[in-house]
Structure 1
Amino acid sequence: MRKGSVKEVLAKLKYDPREDEEDYYVIIEHRGAYGDVKKIPVGMIDLGHGYFFVGDAQIPYHRILKVVRKDGKVIWETRKL
């Protein structure tokens, strides 16, 4: 399940022509609200160096808890869970 960093996994989903980024989403922990999570489609994400962007929002990669396929299969999960 966990192969490489979350940034590497997201880059593969976004740029590998064999993958469809619309089939995946990330689950992040919302800042300042322990236990409050948000689900963001990978297609809405722009990758940066230490952060990813959703529109004007800049979110650090360490907030990502999981990368999940639409069918519910977890393809990457943080070790801190």
Structure 2
Amino acid sequence: MRKGSVKEVLSKIKYDPNEDEADYYVVIEHRGSYGGVKRIPVKEIELGHGYFFLGETQIPYHRILKVMRRNGRVIWETRKRTNL
């Protein structure tokens, strides 16, 4: 399941012609709400060096908890302990 860094996984999804980024989303820790999470479609984000961008908002990669397919299959998951 976990192969490489989250940025490597997202780069493969976004730039590999054999992948459809519309089939994936990320689950992030949502700042400001204790224990809150948010799902973001991969097609809506732009990759940066230490951050990814959702419109004008910069979100650090360390806030990503999971990368998932639309069917619910986990592609990548953080090593942090979560209850998700």
Shift of 1:33: 2.3
Partner of 2:75: 75
Partner of 2:16: 16
Alignment of 1:24-43 (within 5 A): 24-43=24-43
Which digits, 9 at most, give the CA deviation of each residue in 1:46-73, with x for residues without a partner? 0000000000110000000000000000
Q: TM-score, normalised by structure 2?
A: 0.94
Q: Does the alignment pair 1:54 with 2:54?
A: yes
Q: CA RMSD in A?
A: 0.6
Q: TM-score, normalised by structure 1?
A: 0.97
Partner of 1:5: 5
Which digits, 9 at most, give the CA deviation of each residue in 1:3-25, with x for residues without a partner? 00000000000000000000000
Q: How many residues align?
A: 81
Where in structure 2 are there 5+ consecutive unaligned residues? none
